[in-house]
Structure 1
Amino acid sequence: MAVPLISVISVTFNALDDLRKTAESVWAQDYKNLEFVVIDGASVDGTAEWLRERSSDSRMLWVSEKDRGIYDAMNKGVRLCHGEWVCFMNAGDSFASPNSLSLIVKELSNPQNDVVYGSVNVIKNFGMITVRPRGLDLLRRKMAFCHQASLSRRSLLIEHPFNLEYPIVADYDFFHWCYTSGKTFCQVNYELANFEAENGTSSKHRLKVLRECGRISGRNKTLGGTLEYIGQSFEVGFNKLYRFVIPSSLIKKIRALNYSRKRPQC
């Protein structure tokens, strides 16, 4: 059976150590019909030199130049790559296991599937938690699975590039479009990726995430969306307050318990 070419795209900026970690994870895959595409935002930490040393590898493509942010770089990677399927593993992300891609070759080979997604290992400062996808209906208002634990057809990413009007959740805009356009989603029962979520943009800017998701879904114009935003505002304020009065060791335990029942906006 012919297996599809997968393009793994990594966006990076001044994160050479993280990029090395991601590259090791990519090349460790036992699925060999893949290419590794690195989009570097003109880093000054030796990234371009490291990439240049690997220019002879025919499975690797890269550019190092200024961009307009992460989603501009991701769009650039999509235009540059050749794969039928695209997976985004930005610097610091990694596959959950060496056979993450080979486990889902059947789903990727099915011409009916447009997006294939699974679970993600979320890495926080209190440890790692495996988070499973939620029901796809959630895509009507926010992400239902982690972007790093998904693969999308390149043709769809060409048809609907990441919208730079949404600097934090343009990935949600893409999946929301897929969902409302009737594209076929296929869930697999595997952990596909490890995602370092502690310092992610969406983790640091929860209210901005909510506002952008509301603009995409139209929920910002509803009473439910307004009440949700007010509730999130109080929660964010409370979280800032209790960090000053509760020992950090106890905070980690509370966050671990709380996070185990939530899903990441990633």
Structure 2
Amino acid sequence: MSNTKIMFSIVTPTFNSEEYLEECILSIKSQSYKNLEHIIVDGGSTDGTLNIIKRYEGTYNMRWISEKDDGMYDAISKGFSMAKGDVFSWLNSDDMYMPWTCAIVAAVMKATDIQWCTGIPCHYNPEGISHNVPRITPVYPQSYIRKGYMDGRVATFVQQESMFWKKELWIKSGYVLSEYKMAGDYHLWREFAKDNRLVVLDSIISGFRIHEGQKSSDRDKYYSEIGELTLIRKILAKTKIVSVACLIESIFTHSLRIRTKKFLK
């Protein structure tokens, strides 16, 4: 990949997503790095979602389909089956990229052998203002992801909206996503972590929007697909041992994070 220009395939699943979809589309359309495709997979929306999609059809490299699906992860898997890129990601319709997102990821992946990366996590409020940015660039040790500790109980979540990975990882592990309705990303990261470390770029490249009515707010259904905590995991959660270990790794371990300044012209 070192002698070619990396192409991104970004999938966005939608279903009655008119409230925030335009901001999502514009955040991809306005990327400073242009070698990308945006694949929108709609589940048969009945609100203004399709009107928004059609408004931007032909204005950038976006294609879309609208048909009944078996939930968000089925739609995402369908989108990646259409993808032509080298690096994959998905961005939910209520989230946004920063203008420099793909440029930074492309620069790092072109110059290294990194297979899987993310950025500094943050949240958006309903108006799209970012907040809750950690003071220290967090890292996520490969063994902790593989063991399933990063579930929001034992330790923090690994946020999906900033995640980018090589196509080869999806070919090997992507099948797991459509087996779930709520926690597909958690299980996908565990599959990725069997053979690959997650590297964190020291830049905010996306954010998770918190608002009323979002799918991810149903924690009971989410955890039903992960399983109840074992006694050992309950102890780990109560004592916060894994969270403290992650903090220590974040301060002292440099192999799991990238100083993006080195890759900027």
> TM class by shorter-chain length?
0.7 to 0.9
Larger Rg: 1
**Alpha-carbon distance between aligned partners in 1 of 2:68 and 2:54, rounded to the nearest angstrom:** 17
1:211, CA displacement in angstroms?
Answer: 3.6
**Alpha-carbon distance between aligned partners in 2 of 1:87 and 1:79, rounded to the nearest angstrom:** 13
Q: Which consecutive residues of structure 1, in runs of 5 or more, have no partner in the other structure?
A: 215-219, 232-266
Report the TM-score when normalising by structure 2.
0.74
Pairing partner for 1:222 from 210, 223, 230:
230
**Alpha-carbon distance between aligned partners in 2 of 1:169 and 1:64, rounded to the nearest angstrom:** 23
**Corresponding residue number in structure 1 for 2:144:** 138
**Alpha-carbon distance between aligned partners in 1 of 2:225 and 2:167, rounded to the nearest angstrom:** 24
Q: C-alpha deviations, 1:7-63, integer Å up to 9, x for none?
A: 121111111241111111111110111111111111112333443454435611110
Structure 2 CA distance for partners of 1:221 and 1:17, relative to 1, 3 Å: closer
- SS of residue in 1 equivalent to 2:89: strand
Pairing partner for 1:150 from 138, 153, 163:
163
Pairing partner for 1:74 from 76, 91, 98:
76
Contact 2:21–2:52 (CA<8 Å) still a contact in 1?
no
**Corresponding residue number in structure 1 for 2:258:** none
**Alpha-carbon distance between aligned partners in 2 of 1:221 and 1:94, rounded to the nearest angstrom:** 33
1:192 aligns with 2:205: yes
Deviates most, 114-123 or 27-36: 114-123
Q: C-alpha deviations, 1:101-141, integer Å up to 9, x for none?
A: 21232322146221111112212479721145443243122
**Alpha-carbon distance between aligned partners in 2 of 1:127 and 1:135, rounded to the nearest angstrom:** 22
**Alpha-carbon distance between aligned partners in 1 of 2:130 and 2:110, rounded to the nearest angstrom:** 35
In terms of fraction of residues, the more helix-rich structure is 1
**Alpha-carbon distance between aligned partners in 2 of 1:111 and 1:158, rounded to the nearest angstrom:** 20
Contact 2:183–2:226 (CA<8 Å) still a contact in 1?
yes
Q: C-alpha deviations, 1:128-162, integer Å up to 9, x for none?
A: 21145443243122355211011012232233224
Structure 2 CA distance for partners of 1:221 and 1:13, relative to 1, 3 Å: closer
Structure 2 CA distance for partners of 1:115 and 1:45, relative to 1, 3 Å: same
In terms of fraction of residues, the more strand-rich structure is 1
Structure 2 CA distance for partners of 1:79 and 1:111, relative to 1, 3 Å: farther
Report the TM-score when normalising by structure 1.
0.73
1:221, CA displacement in angstroms?
Answer: 7.3
What one-letter code is carried by the residue in structure 1 that aligns with 2:177?
Answer: N
1:129 aligns with 2:129: no
Q: C-alpha deviations, 1:197-252, integer Å up to 9, x for none?
A: 344333x23243334233xxxxx4732246679x7xxxxxxxxxxxxxxxxxxxxx
Contact 2:77–2:177 (CA<8 Å) still a contact in 1?
no
Pairing partner for 2:190 from 176, 194, 203:
176
Following superposition of structure 1 onto structure 2, how do residues 7-156 of structure 1 map, counting pairs within 5 Å?
7-57=9-59, 59-95=61-97, 97-110=98-111, 112-124=113-125, 128-131=131-134, 132-136=137-141, 137-139=143-145, 140-141=147-148, 142-143=150-151, 144-156=157-169
Contact 1:5–1:33 (CA<8 Å) still a contact in 2?
yes
Instruction: Give % identity.
Output: 23
- SS of residue in 1 equivalent to 2:80: helix
- SS of residue in 2 equivalent to 1:148: coil
- SS of residue in 2 equivalent to 1:130: coil
**Alpha-carbon distance between aligned partners in 2 of 1:138 and 1:209, rounded to the nearest angstrom:** 19
Deviates most, 113-122 or 40-49: 40-49
Contact 2:41–2:66 (CA<8 Å) still a contact in 1?
yes
